[in-house]
């Protein structure tokens, strides 16, 4: 078998950044490069596989047991977040990590430090894969892709391994919230599934945020500053005033666990007009609706104060908490807990302070908890992943398959 490290390094070398400003699917042509590669690798292993016009790789391995057992799916996304560059990724391999600072050699003076990221110390003695400081790494979610592909190769090369029907899915555009918009659950054919898209080793999640985006256009009025009294309406000031009307304590930097937030993610402004963008998150559906209502109320206030049409709000739901869809099929969580324990890992069952393809798939009728892929500090130049965590995640995939075949 190809070593999982080599597989992972091959995948991260392919640029797959998704593009939130594109209306196509996949959102960026570069995503096709990895999608086509995965299709070809699965076909070369003798696995039945398709790649459709929307960028969904779907593969199927038939059961080799006599008993009728559920078809279990494993899903990962190929795109990386547009928050940081995913081009020309140059991973650093740190063997037998000693617990010290790691120089990110692509940027002189930049270090990955335990003083800032104390979780690094959990991996002393292991092999860490980091960035060189110029890009993200892409473990989100190419670690998940590598883990699934490694398990598939093991199954194909070990016919004595007993399993029921296995379904494999690779998706584009998860990072921009469109990963499974056109995913055909019936064609995929799984009864239950797991996304391999979580964080550090041991994590298991079946609760996630309810999510919405809020885009606000502020229309000001630009007048020569020498003659502006009583006439100018500075869109920059109005936008910052609007932001100040939202509760400071509900920003992401002040929240944790089940606490939701308003997150200002973009601001582009001049005196004449400004555009601001938020993401709104909460695990509790009622509190989520209250947050959306507050955003509407704040924009209404601005329009009363400065005139109709000053603030134009576009509010759009993105996904919902999958807990209500997964709990009626709680065996999928219990099987995952046991599979993690079989790998010698202590499970960390916790809510996702984010979302996955699994949330939307659960609402499409495919209950789909999320399992750790092993990486940390996703979406930026401080991203890293321990090799041993990738190896254990692939082992968990095989353990789940084994448990459902028993």
Q: What is the pLDDT of residues 348-398, one digit of tens each?
A: 999 988 888 999 999 999 999 999 999 999 999 999 999 999 999 999 999
Q: What is the pLDDT of residue 39?
A: 98
| C-alpha to C-alpha distances, 240 to 234, 236, 237, 270, nearest whole angstrom | 10, 6, 5, 12
> Above 90 in pLDDT, residue 66?
yes
Domain parsing of the chain, residue ranges: 4-207+321-405, 210-319
Active site residues: 79, 174
**Residue 182: per-residue pLDDT:** 96
- CATH class for the region spanning 210-319: alpha beta
Residue 288 predicted with pLDDT over 80: yes
Structure tokens at 253: 């930097």
The CA distance from 198 to 375, in Å, is 8
Global confidence as pTM:
0.89
Rg of the Cα atoms in the chain: 23
pLDDT at 286 over 90: yes
Q: Which H, E and C letters describe the chain, residue by residue?
A: CCCHHHHHHHHHCCCCECCCCCCCCCCCCCHHHHHHHHHHHHHHCCCEEEECCCCCEEEEECCCCCCCCCCEEEEEECCECCCCCCCCCCCEEECCCCCCCEECCCCCCCEECCCCCHHHHHHCCCCEEECCCCCCCCHHHHHHHHHHHHHHHHHHHCCCCCCCCEEEEEECCHHHCCCCCCCCHHHHCCCEEEEEEECCCCEEECCCCEEEEEEEEEECECCCHHHCCCCCECHHHHHHHHHHCCCHHHCHHHCCCCCCEEEEEEEEECCCEEEEEEEEEECCHHHHHHHHHHHHHHHHHHHHHHCCCCEEEEEEEEECCCHHHHHHHCHHHHHHHHHHHHCCCCCEECCCCCCCHHHHHHHCCCCCCEEECCCECCCCCCCEEEHHHHHHHHHHHHHHHHHHHC
Q: What is the mean pLDDT of residues 68-91?
A: 97
CATH number for the segment(s) 4-207+321-405: 3.40.630.10
- In the block, tokens 């007993």 appear at 162
What's the chain's average pLDDT?
Answer: 97
Give tens-digit pLDDT for 205-259.
Answer: 999 999 999 999 999 999 999 999 999 999 999 999 999 999 999 999 999 999 9
pLDDT tens profile 390-404? 999 999 999 999 999
């Amino acid at each position: 078998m190809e070593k999982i490290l080599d597989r992972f390094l091959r995948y991260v070398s392919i640029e797959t950044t998704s593009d939130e400003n594109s209306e196509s699917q996949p959102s960026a042509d570069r995503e096709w490069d990895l999608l086509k590669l995965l299709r070809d690798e699965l076909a070369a292993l003798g696995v039945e596989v398709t790649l459709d016009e929307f960028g969904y790789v779907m593969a199927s391995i038939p059961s080799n047991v006599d008993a009728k057992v559920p078809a279990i799916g494993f899903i990962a996304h190929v795109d990386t977040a547009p928050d940081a560059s995913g081009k020309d990724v140059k991973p650093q391999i740190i063997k037998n990590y000693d617990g010290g600072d790691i120089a990110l050699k692509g940027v002189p003076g930049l270090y990955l430090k335990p003083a800032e990221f104390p979780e690094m110390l959990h991996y002393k003695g292991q092999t860490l894969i980091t960035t060189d400081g110029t890009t993200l790494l892409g473990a989100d979610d190419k670690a998940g892709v590598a883990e699934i592909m490694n398990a598939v190769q093991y199954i194909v090369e070990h016919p004595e391994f007993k399993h029921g029907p296995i379904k494999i899915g690779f998706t584009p555009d998860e990072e921009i919230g469109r990963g499974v918009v056109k995913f055909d659950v019936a064609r995929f054919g799984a009864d239950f599934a797991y996304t391999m898209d979580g964080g550090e080793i041991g994590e298991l999640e079946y609760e996630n945020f309810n999510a919405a985006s809020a885009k606000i256009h502020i229309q000001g009025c630009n007048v020569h500053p020498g003659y502006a009294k009583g006439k100018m309406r500075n869109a920059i000031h109005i936008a910052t005033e609007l932001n100040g009307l939202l509760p400071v304590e509900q920003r992401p930097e002040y929240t944790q666990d089940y606490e939701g937030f308003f997150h200002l993610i973009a601001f582009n402004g001049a005196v004449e007009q400004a555009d601001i963008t938020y993401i709104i998150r909460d695990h509790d559906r009622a509190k989520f609706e209250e947050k959306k209502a507050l955003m509407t109320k704040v924009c209404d206030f601005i329009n009363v104060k400065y005139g109709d049409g000053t603030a134009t709000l576009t509010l759009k739901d993105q996904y919902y908490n999958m807990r209500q869809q997964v709990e009626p099929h709680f065996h999928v969580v219990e099987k995952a807990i046991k599979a993690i324990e079989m790998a010698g890992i202590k499970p960390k069952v916790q809510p996702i302070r984010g979302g996955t393809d699994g949330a939307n798939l659960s609402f499409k009728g495919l209950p789909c908890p999320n399992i750790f892929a092993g990486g940390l500090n996703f979406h930026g130049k401080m991203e890293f992943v321990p090799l041993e965590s990738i190896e254990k995640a692939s082992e968990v995939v095989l353990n789940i398959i084994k448990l459902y075949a028993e």
